[in-house]
Amino acid sequence: MAVTIEKVESNRALREFIRFPEKLYRQDPLWSPPIWMEERETFSVNNPLLAHSDFALFLARSEGEIAGRLLAYVDHKFNDFYNSNIGMFGSFESVRRPEVAKALFAESEGWLIARGMDTIRGPLNPVAECWGSLYEGFDSPATFMTPYNPPYYNEYLQDLGYRKVKDLLAFEGDARQGYQIPERFIRFRKKLLTRRPDIRIRRIDMKHLIRDAEAIWTISNQAIRDNWGWVPYDKEELQSTLKKLGPIADPDAIWILEDAGQPVGHCLGFPDINIILRQIRGRLFPFGFITLLRRRRNLQDFRLFGLAVLPEYHGQGLDVLLYMSLFEALAPRGVRVEASYILEDNLNMINAVLKLGLKKTKTYRVYEKGSKP
Are 320 and 188 in a shared domain? Answer: yes
Pairing of strands 359-370, 163-174: antiparallel
Residue 161 lies in a domain: no
Nearest to 356 by CA among 302, 313, 317: 317
Paired strand residues for 168: 343, 364
DSSP letter for each residue of 98-161: HHHHHHHHHHHHHHHHTTT-SEEEE-EETTTTEESEEEE-TTSPPPTTS----THHHHHHHHTT
Are 122 and 187 in a shared domain? Answer: no
Residue 37 domain boundaries: 3-127
Residue 302 lies in a domain: yes
| Domain end position, chosen among 71, 97, 127 | 127
| Domain end position, chosen among 95, 127, 159 | 127
Summarize pLDDT for 206-234 with one digit per residue, the tens.
888 888 988 998 998 899 888 899 888 88
**Are 77 and 231 a contacting pair, CB within 8 Å?**
yes
Q: Report pLDDT for 127.
A: 80
User: Within 10 Å of residue 293's Cβ, how many Cβ atoms?
Assistant: 13
**Are 42 and 127 a contacting pair, CB within 8 Å?**
yes
Q: In CATH, what number is assigned to the domain containing residue 346?
A: 3.40.630.30
Q: Burial, 243: exposed, middle or buried (Cβ in 10 Å; 0-12, 13-18, 19+)?
A: exposed
CA 141 to chain centre: 14
Are 197 and 330 in a shared domain? Answer: yes
How many separate domains does the chain show?
Answer: 2
| Domain end position, chosen among 93, 127, 161 | 127
Residue 272 lies in a domain: yes
Residue 143 lies in a domain: no
**Local structure of 264: helix, strand or coil:** strand
Summarize pLDDT for 346-371 with one digit per residue, the tens.
998 999 999 999 999 999 999 999 97
d(CA 304, CA 272): 10
Residue 66 has pLDDT above 90, yes or no: yes
Residue 150 lies in a domain: no
Q: Report pLDDT for 128.
A: 67
CA 366 to chain centre: 12
The average pLDDT across 278-285 equals: 92
Summarize pLDDT for 24-53 with one digit per residue, the tens.
999 999 999 999 999 999 999 999 889 999
User: Within 10 Å of residue 40's Cβ, how many Cβ atoms?
Assistant: 14
d(CA 254, CA 32): 24
